[in-house]
Amino acid sequence: MSKSTKKPKLGSASVTAPLERDTQNKKRSWWSFGVKKRTGASLVGGKQDARRYLLVWLIMALAMFVLIARAAYLQIFNAQFYIDKGDELITTVRTEPSYRGVITDRAGAPLAANAPLYTVFFDPYAYAEEYYRLVADMNSTKKDAVKQRTLTKLKDMDLVKLAAAANFPLEKLQAAVKIDPKLDASDDKKVQAALPKGAGSRRLVLLNRVSPEIAESVMQLEFFAVGREQYFQRYYLQAEPNAQILGFMGQSSDGSGYIGRAGIEAKYNELLAGKDGKVLALRSRGSQVIQEIEQIEPLVEGRDINLTIDSRLQYVLYKELEQVGRLQSARSSSGMVVDVKTGEVLAMGSWPSFNSNNLSERDGANERNRPVLDVFEPGSVMKPFTVAAALESGKYNTNSVIDTSPGSVSVGGYTIRDGGNYGVITLDKLIQKSSNVASTKIALNLPTNAIANMQMKFGFGAKTALDFPAESAGKVIVPKDRELSRRATLSYGYGQQVTLAQLAQAYAALGNRGLMYPLRLVKDQPSKEPTQVIGAQHAEAVVRMMELVTGAGGTGQAAAIDGYRVAGKTGTSRRTNPQGGYYTDQHRAIFVGVAPASNPRFAVAILVEDPRRQSYAGQVAAPVFANVMKEALRLYNVPYDKPLRQATQAPLS
């Protein structure tokens, strides 16, 4: 065998070389895949190119991932935020003011109504922004038609027109917009720096709460960046007579708007006010509403309040109170008229009063609704309830007599006196002569709590159903067994605190045969169930006794009305001295009564505080009662129950 055919031995170099080359090819690096095997510089350059290629792709993939993630965040995960931001630029939430309900009297005549007012405002920021945009557009275009249109718009934005229409200082408008004629309007950064900033930059009030006619003189210009807001101003008809009942409007403590601050306006504020609506609307660059999009919150209009007040009678009452107050140089005067059959308050007022359309006249004294706020010792007007307690006790009847001689009685170390020695008198004479001694003897002859309990049954010592803001409950203290003087003084109207409203309610119950209807001021509210306070026969008996007061020999003859039987009671009490005891020269004059006595229809209560010219209720309060009651009977066509007096005719010549 020759050398050429000789097989190589296993393990020799000629055998292992091909095997090593195959193994090396299989062990190529991952980054050199697909690159031809080279030697030297070519091999190194190829490896570097592959690395760069993959690095570029990695960066591109990472950037694409970031962009996709950002787009997902903006469009999916946080989309609503940017939608809201966009909406803020082109939309606005407009408030629809609710129409406050009207307060009317019993016949529907308005007592408190709404007058529409407008506030016209100007947006200096929007004006300046639009001005610079128009200047930039005019400078950048070469078309004459476009320039002319832009120039026309700029002329329409002349502040001289706006100043003249709104009667607003031109200098203030110019200072607000801060227009710089030399500014390069094409430079956005300079424009942004020049736009107005700070307070008043987005809202400058041109006309504040003016009538629609005045506002229209500006709005008809259709001036850029000018808008208006509608308000309703409360207006009160018969302002002074109704001021304390209706109350007034004022700014809320949280600054959210105007609310009722007293009287009916405050008590029924939520019902009267309703609820403002909110509307999402498109707005222009000038902040003007273009189109409404949707109702966000529904508008709830305020409801009307229909009072039991008769505005005719209310006016009569107030004028009478004003006249007696001025004539007597009194501190104040107040009165009420109540429908005996229903408990409805037909009139309630006080003097002095204020014009509720001009709150600068208001002070702490003239805004008080005295018939429900002021408490006082009523004096002899409480004696009919002492007689009622006597009749209800069974110890007395209409024929019972009481010895008042010698015109005084000593109780608990105090001496109680009458105006004279009336001797032996009946219960009707007790009322007619207003005997303190007879009242005292009744009180001491009845159980300890009899007088106080009777007064509380008639509503004294508790708020009336009117539940007026800050209404007083008064006070009736039940005396203890050993408190003889308190038992005595309660019987003739001292030692307790009452309101005029409580007196009117109690006398109305007497006039309604002992059936007491709670007082009512709002007709729409259901009336509460009446209460039978005393027996009908006893109530009628007390009313008959009170008729003597207005007749011959009575203390209230000035309360008599021609053609009608009038039952009532005078009360002249001393005013309390804060230093202790009572003033000797300051009095309170009260007259309360019902008519016609045969079938009472109305109860009227009149109080004059500290009259200076005359003191006695028969001289001061009784004539006011007569004038008010006479007008009430006339307005409601109540039939006569007594013959008219014949007018005296002068002899013919």
Residue 548 lies in a domain: yes
Query: Which of the residue ranges 23-27, 148-152, 449-453, 549-553 would you say has the lowest mean pLDDT?
Result: 23-27
What's the chain's average pLDDT? 88
Q: What is the average per-residue pLDDT within 593-604?
A: 98
The reply to whether 345 falls in a domain is yes
- Detail the DSSP E strand segments found in 211-288: 226-236, 249-251, 258-260, 277-283
Instruction: Look at the pTM and tell me if it is higher than 0.85.
Output: no
Tell whether 134 is covered by a domain: no
What is the 8-class DSSP label of residue 114?
E
Would you say residue 630 lies in a domain? yes
Cα separation, 49 vs 71, in Å, equals 33
- Give the Cα separation of 204 and 161 in Å (integer): 16
pLDDT value of position 140 = 87
The predicted pLDDT at position 35 comes to: 46
d(CA 438, CA 588): 22
Question: Is there a contact between 486 and 451 (Cβ–Cβ < 8 Å)?
Answer: no
- Identify whether 380 is a catalytic site residue: yes
Residue pLDDT, tens place only, 373-430: 999 999 999 999 999 999 999 999 999 999 999 999 999 889 999 999 999 999 999 9
Indicate whether 598 belongs to any domain.
Answer: yes
Residue 298 contacts by C-beta under 8 Å, 6 or more apart in sequence?
A: 275, 277
Beta bridge partners of 155: none
pLDDT of residue 145: 85
Does the pLDDT of residue 284 top 70, yes or no? no
Q: What is the pLDDT of residues 478-492, one digit of tens each?
A: 999 999 999 999 999
Check which CATH number belongs to the domain holding 384 and give it: 3.40.710.10
Domain of 522 in residue numbering reads as: 311-355+367-635
Report which of 449, 244, 261 is spatially closest to residue 365, judged by C-alpha positions.
Answer: 244
- Among candidate residues 332, 333, 350, 380, the one labeled active-site is 380
Residue 291's pLDDT band (boundaries 50, 70, 90)? low
Residue 176 C-alpha from the chain's centroid:
37
User: 607 and 621 in contact (C-beta within 8 Å)?
Assistant: yes
Q: 137-188: per-residue pLDDT in tens?
A: 888 887 888 888 999 999 999 999 999 999 999 999 999 999 998 899 989 9
Q: Is residue 323 part of a domain?
A: yes
**How many Å apart are CA 73 and CA 61, to the nearest integer?**
18
In the chain, the number of structural domains is 1
C-alpha span between 522 and 103 (Å, rounded): 10
- How many C-beta atoms surround the C-beta of residue 530 within 10 A? 16
User: Does residue 84 belong to any structural domain of this protein?
Assistant: no
Higher-pLDDT residue of 635 and 85 is 635
**630-to-72, 257, 317, 508, 635 alpha-carbon distances in Å:** 85, 44, 11, 17, 9
| Domain-located, residue 529 | yes
Query: What does the pLDDT look like over 101-146, one tens digit per residue?
Result: 999 999 999 999 998 899 999 999 999 999 999 999 888 887 888 8
Phi and psi at residue 376, to the nearest 5°: -160, 165
Strands (E), 70-156: 91-96, 103-104, 110-122
Q: What is the pLDDT of residues 534-578, one digit of tens each?
A: 999 999 999 999 999 999 999 999 999 999 999 999 999 999 988
